[in-house]
Structure 1
Amino acid sequence: MSPSPEELKEASIKLFRELHENKKRNEAQEEEYRRLLELHGHEIISHPELLKKKKEEKTEYAVNPVFAKDIKAIIADYKEKTGKEPEQTEQGVVLAFNKQEDAISFFKEQSSKGRAFDMYCAAKDHRVYSDGKGLFVHGTRKEVGEYLKKPEDFELGKDGKLTKKEEPTDAPSQQL
């Protein structure tokens, strides 16, 4: 399925915005910048907010200090994998990711290395948990908390995603 004209336009404006922010464009980038300016210039002048990046919710996972013994190894892998330093906030140490999927992939890999952790992204109500013994789960804070108390109430996806099982409904009684 090919992208819609609206998706193509959005991608084109996004590229223009990136080129616009890059003041050290090479010759090919400058040529593309001018082409996009000619194509979208009128719209950008009419709607200058198009040049502003869309605000995305942050995907930042706060470290639960209970699992401090493995956190140094996790942070070392985080630095190597992302090239970023963890952030220090009022929540404590925070690991930031571009997308939630990137975080899930990273933490699943950490779990496979036998590392225990309990991380939470408040902006997306997303918790990732590993017991360090092969169990890796993720879901909302409530789902993971309920799973840890009663795992039999949940189905566990291949990537560790939790899905609450349907409540069995009582069959209607038959009347004779």
Structure 2
Amino acid sequence: MAAEAPTDRLGLVAPDFTLPDSAGRLWSLDQIAGARGTLIVFMCNHCPYVLAIIDRLVRDAAELQAFGIGVAAINANDEAAYPEDSFAAMAPFAQAHRLPFPYLRDESQAVARAYDAVCTPDFYGFDAGRVLRYRGRLDSSGREPAAPDVRRELVEAMRLVAAGQTPPDPKPCIGCSIKWRTEA
């Protein structure tokens, strides 16, 4: 089911976390944060919205990292209901797509709840002080192939954030809803 992430929560201080990556290494927010900002992306393996943008996300993340912005992705989906999003499936996904950033597992879903994540993908752009300055989409393509001249909204916004400027009002990201575990 498609969900739309709100563009609010600007000013939120990034909730701290320590999570394992797809190879089992633990990563903290301190280790991920870049000198000029941090991008946290909630995503998963199976979402058609993620699959539609993954190549552009890899390209844009590498560019932002070179610009001093730390990047990590977090998978919080319920793996019992969605085995294709399991911890075991994350390493092959990360390798197949050559992710240039840590792909982390939020098994408890506590980090996703702390960030108030809504969908996959869901982008959080923090400044160097870890204050949320951008919550919006990668670009306007959604699930469709991107036109060659598509505006790179996330990259533009994060470059402004890194320069201490305020990005324009973002457009909301649309994706598959986070697959929350049902409480027994």
- TM category, shorter: under 0.3
Q: State the structure with bigger RCO (CA 8 A, min sep 6), 1 or 2.
A: 2
Structure 1-normalised TM-score?
0.26
Q: TM-score by structure 2 length?
A: 0.25
Structure possessing the higher radius of gyration over alpha carbons: 1
